[in-house]
Amino acid sequence: MARQLNKLSANEVKNAKGSGKIRKLADGGGLTLVIKGESKYWWLRYRFAGNEKTLSLGGYPQVSLADARKARDEAKGLLKDNIDPSAHRKQESTQRVSDGENTFRTLCEDWYQQKHSAEVTESHAVRNWRRLEIYTFPQLARRPIRSLQPADILQVLDKIVKKGNVETAHRVKTLISLVFRYAVATSRVDSDVTRDLTGYLPKTQVKHQHALVRPDEVSRLLKDIQAYQGHFATSAALRISPLVFTRPGDTRQMLWEQIDFDKALWELPTTKNGAPLIVPLSQQAISILKEVEPVTKHRSPYVFPNARDAKRPMSNVAIKAALDRMGYGGKMTAHGFRAMARTLLQEELKYPVHLIEMQLAHRVADMHGRAYNRTEFLEDRREMMQAWADYLQSLES
């Protein structure tokens, strides 16, 4: 015969008085009201793995009779699944502490400091952190990262898309994915929830950077660059840009400590894709750097310092602004030197694509799918860069 449950009434519990000894009132199913003096609290007695155990359910009246019965029934449900209610409570308590420490913002900060800021350029890292601050923190910052589901991420992305910023939505989704993958690697979550959102966002329209790629157009541009009368650092950066065809951010943040004049190399510890890059410097590039050295090296760590503050690199719009003033607005951008080099090196100078792509700091794999490292084909690239500089010089003259 089953033991009677719910023996007590709410009034009995309320009016029960203590005495000099501990008094116990059983409600059934192991639930007991323990009265000691003026205090009342709930116990649950149960057996697990052959041992009798006691679980405290809290004090009365903070925990009512109905609440205590609910807790008893939940514990019984755990026992049916062969789970010890006491161990389950400890695990939940530990998880709550863990969730409080591992909020989305906390993981973003860890990822940024431990990984992202070390893998990309400073300006790129700062720009990405700002995106997280603007678009994700208002809704997600205080949420335990383990609690976030695809629907939570969708709400963030939908807001961005509704404002017409589809490309930004894609960038933010990528950042959230990077944070989750870092959390997986550090055992804070089990999976990247953004994987279930693949294909959800509208496709972005590819924006092609303006670039001049015909020899006659490039010839005119190079003549105009040589004739440009602007700020010294801007003019020098403008002249070296077609010779090295690195990303504009890398060019303007070139450091003197990265230049090896003896080996004629510029060594970048990291680029946009996180990989380092070696740029062989042609005789023409070395000539420009030696022209700049006595003017900027003694006052700035940057080869092309900011006009107002030598401790900072040149403005990220300086080269584009110079091109615009020269009449190339809508025709050529600072990034366009990369497209120019890629096109003419292949079509006019007949260099193999993999060498050009490696020098552009794009990820290139060999026939076995392995990524080339930064020193691969260095001498071949050195020869290519000198031939490129000689070709540009011939176009200019």
Residues with a known catalytic role: 247, 272, 335, 338, 362, 372
The 3-state secondary structure of the chain, one letter per residue? CCCCCCCCCHHHHHHCCCCCCCEEEEEECCEEEEEECCEEEEEEEEEECCEEEEEEEEEECCCCHHHHHHHHHHHHHHHHCCCCHHHHHHHHHHHHHHHHHCEHHHHHHHHHHHHHHHHCCHHHHHHHHHHHHHHCHHHHCCCEHHHCCHHHHHHHHHHHHHCCCHHHHHHHHHHHHHHHHHHHHCCCCCCCHHHHHCCCCCCCCCCCCCCCCCHHHHHHHHHHHHHCCCCHHHHHHHHHHHHHCCCHHHHHCCEHHHEECCCCEEEECCCCCCCCEEEECCHHHHHHHHHHHHHHCCCCCECCECCCCCCCECCCCHHHHHHHHHHHCCCCCCCHHHHHHHHHHHHCCCCCHHHHHHHCCCCCECCCCCECCCCCCHHHHHHHHHHHHHHHHHHHC
Two structure tokens written together for 247? 């990303």
